[in-house]
Homo-oligomer: A and B are copies of this chain.
Amino acid sequence: MAEVLGLKCMKCGREYSPRNALLVCETCGSNGILDVLYDYSKIQLSLKELKNDSQNSLWRYRKLLPLNDKTRISPLQVGMTPLYSLKDMAKTNGLKGIYIKDDGRNPTASLKDRASAVGISKAIEAGSKAVCCASTGNAASSLAGFAASLGIPAFIFVPKRAPKAKIAQLLIFGAKTIIVDDTYDRAFELSIETSIRYGFYNRNCAYNPYLVEGKKTVAFEIWENLGYQLPDKVILSIGDGCITSGIYKGFYDLMKIGLTDHLPQIIAVQAAGCNPMEVAFKTGEFKEQKPNTIADSIAVGIPRNRLKALRALEESKGDCISVSDDEIKQAILELPRVSGVFAEPAAATAYAGFKKLLNSDLAGKNENVVILITGNGLKDIDSALSVCQLPEPIEPTMKAVEKLLG
């Protein structure tokens, strides 16, 4: 395990001992998301050790995770997802490399599994008998799956308007699913109150600081996938900012333990119909928004982990951009056709952002660019169908086939 020095509030800077069971700042409450601080001098992880490690999962980085060495972990195989090179596209556009990191290949088909893997073990360390979160999407189904894999009860709050398909995953994993006749924000608040009232472990990523630590493993893998080299840019979509915070933390850790010497640029992509992070990054001022976009997983009007995410963008000399829903729809269609990777709308948003950069100032730069795909398209078949044209049926004859194919 990585020795945790303390937990530091992203808002007021107050530090807490790791022995303290607090998940958020005492002063700032749930606005004061904590950052996990390590004693990097005590983390010994060599390139040779990694190369010889045959573990095909994120547990190969256990030395960089805030978990005791003996804490029970879920048997579900998480991480070590594939990185695909789009060689022809890179060549055509004068880039050194274009890579798709497909995190839709995780157990419940999203990057959230990295967070759940760590979160469920932190719940065990905390002695909690059950876990709890609020979500309508990937985090909820991920927690439900990991809880099932260890036989731990899960209580999940979803707003009434949550799509039935996403609720199906919760029910199938046997999670106690509490449908709240109100907004997501109210479901979120109730999940916090319930976890305190019943002693459930809270897995909300924009609340519990240890979840981002699970997400950071995707940065380690990108570096490994590229032959222990950093890319120049990582492009990913951003909602409440947890994945952006996680990928930064991973690259930061690698630098602090001496395996790398700088941070790659992190480019976060929002939907134009909901871009509070872009506004905050560019103007320095945060304003709540009402989401209006097809990319539901990043339709977040109040990005709760914005302070960590803004730090990630600033310190990596990155950027925050936005793309229109038309550009996202185009990406939903184009990405699977150039790569064989089917992404959910929020994940395809990263590819849309990449295409926008390519059309402005990225082409010809001879850089290595990684596009992070955070969720599988099978999670949202309806959105996929909405951008496809269903062909008309033909008569069951070769004549009709020949007429169609020419």
Contact = CB atoms under 8 A, between A and B. Distances in A.
A119 to B, nearest CB: 14
A342 B381 contact: no
A146 interface: yes
Interface in A157-192: 160, 164-165, 167-169, 171-174, 176-182, 186-187, 190
Contacts of A179: 390-394
Nearest to A186: B396
Contacts of A148: 336-340
Nearest to A171: B388
A342 B388 contact: no
B385 A164 contact: yes
A168 B77 contact: no
Contacts of A243: none
Interface string A373-406: 0001111010011001111111110100110110
A388 to B, nearest CB: 4
B398 A193 contact: yes
Interface in A319-369: 332-333, 336-342
A394 B178 contact: yes
- Size bracket, chain A contacts: 35 or more
A394 B167 CA distance: 15
Interface stretch (A102-110, A121-129, A234-242, A251-259): A102-110
A336 B145 contact: yes
A247 to B, nearest CB: 21
B340 A146 contact: yes
A173 B146 CA distance: 30
Nearest to A334: B174
A376 B168 CA distance: 14
A177 to B, nearest CB: 6
A40 B337 CA distance: 39
Interface stretch (A79-87, A264-272, A290-298, A305-313): A79-87
Contact of A168 (B108, B165, B338, B381): B381
A210 interface: no
A377 B84 CA distance: 25
A172 B107 contact: no
A172 B340 contact: no
Contacts of A173: 336-337, 340, 342
Contact of A105 (B105, B333, B389): B105
Interface of A: 56, 74-77, 80, 82, 84-85, 88, 105, 107-109, 145-146, 148-149, 151, 155, 160, 164-165, 167-169, 171-174, 176-182, 186-187, 190, 193-194, 197-198, 332-333, 336-342, 376-379, 381, 384-385, 388-396, 398, 401-402, 404-405
25 contacts: A56-B80, A76-B340, A105-B105, A108-B340, A108-B342, A109-B378, A145-B336, A148-B336, A148-B340, A149-B340, A164-B385, A164-B390, A172-B377, A173-B340, A174-B336, A178-B394, A179-B394, A180-B394, A187-B396, A190-B396, A190-B398, A194-B398, A194-B401, A376-B378, A378-B379
- What are the 6 closest A-B residue pairs judged by CB atoms, nearest first? A149-B340, A182-B396, A171-B388, A77-B82, A174-B337, A378-B378
